Copies of this chain bind each other. A is one copy, B any other.
Amino acid sequence: MIITLKKDAKQEETEKLLRSLENKGLSVNMIQGDTFNVFGLVGDTSKLDERLIKAHPFVENVQRIAAPYKLANRMFHPQDTIIDVNGIHIGGKEPIVVIGGPCSVESEEMIERIAYKVKEAGACMLRGGAYKPRTSPYAFQGMGTQGILAMEKAGKKTGLPIVSELMSADKLDEFIEHVDVIQIGARNMQNFDLLKAVGKTKKPILLKRGLANTIEEWIMAAEYILSEGNPNVIFCERGIRTFEPYTRNTLDLSVIPIIKEKTHLPIIIDPSHATGDWKLVESASLAAIAAGADGLIIEVHDDPENAMSDGVQSLLPEKFDALVEKGRKIAKVMGRSI
């Protein structure tokens, strides 16, 4: 960590700060500049709060050199982490996973029907929402427990592990019992109590990036889960909010090489929420594979016009099928398979 001090800082203030840092076990080097002086700190600064040091009126700026995350940091864990979901492996050089399914579970019959269709097209996991975060209180809020049980049944019949979003820690037991991968949604990426709760389980966690969260904040959210003892975190990019009104979000594919450089955890892409428009999903999916993604999670519906949510961004099964077909060829170029 680098602390920039104003030139007119009084010596006693500077020394007081120096001693307080040394008391934290850090060694401090000082550089005298023309317009500023600089403290360079050596030692473990991950628990130092830079905004507190900045509170000193004679401190001009504080800059972190080492990343604030430890457990997620590839520097201390060079090999790729491979997440195991009922025998399906995610990450490293493993096959690219394709997760398909509807936005919302609408009935037992419906989720089973679509489960078979996505399986046939090549998906290896089933997605579906039973608890739905909706902007409007008047919109369909999901089937709840009935939806989770319907998914579990469809998953068992087809042999597909299931992924569903947990919105509140009070449903955690239900998810531990019935769900294979627990999704933390974009709006809850910094719901720290929820992160701590899922960190106490051993379930694989699909951690979506928040609407307007930086890559570092996202890794810190993973660090919350890891620090509670759960090493099974899968990052999921789903687009960020920008000024562009045409797409629902702006898909940031640069996160793929960055997450892989900074951390040892796998990352998958959600092209459906990223674009918000089924016509853009194939292009985004192929791009994600070419960019190095470990997987895709895609909304599929066989009657999007009558879907209970997100019909506009859901692919018809036949289009999903065609997408997987092309994706397989791109994956091969990348030295992987689907």
Contacts and interface: CB of A to CB of B under 8 A. Distances in A.
A211 interface: yes
A86 interface: no
Given A47-B138, A241-B212, A279-B261, A309 B52 contact: yes
Interface in A240-255: 240-247, 250-254
Interface stretch (A32-40, A94-102, A107-115, A153-161): A32-40
Contacts of A330: 290, 330, 333
A21 to B, nearest CB: 12
A136 B227 CA distance: 10
A240 B252 CA distance: 11
Contacts of A250: 240, 242, 250, 252, 254
Given A250-B242, A252-B250, A66 B283 contact: no
A311 interface: yes
Contacts of A220: 135-137
A138 B243 contact: no
A19 interface: no
Contacts of A253: 251, 253, 283-284, 287
B223 A244 contact: no
27 contacts: A2-B2, A32-B42, A34-B44, A35-B66, A51-B313, A52-B306, A52-B309, A55-B278, A55-B304, A55-B312, A60-B65, A135-B190, A137-B223, A138-B227, A168-B169, A169-B170, A187-B191, A187-B192, A240-B242, A242-B243, A244-B252, A246-B254, A250-B252, A251-B254, A253-B287, A283-B291, A283-B292
Interface of A: 2, 4, 29, 31-36, 38, 40, 42-44, 46-47, 49, 51-52, 54-56, 60-61, 63, 65-66, 68, 75, 133-141, 167-170, 187-188, 190-194, 196, 210-217, 220, 223-224, 227-228, 240-247, 250-254, 256-258, 261, 274-276, 278-280, 283-284, 286-292, 304-314, 326, 329-330, 333-334
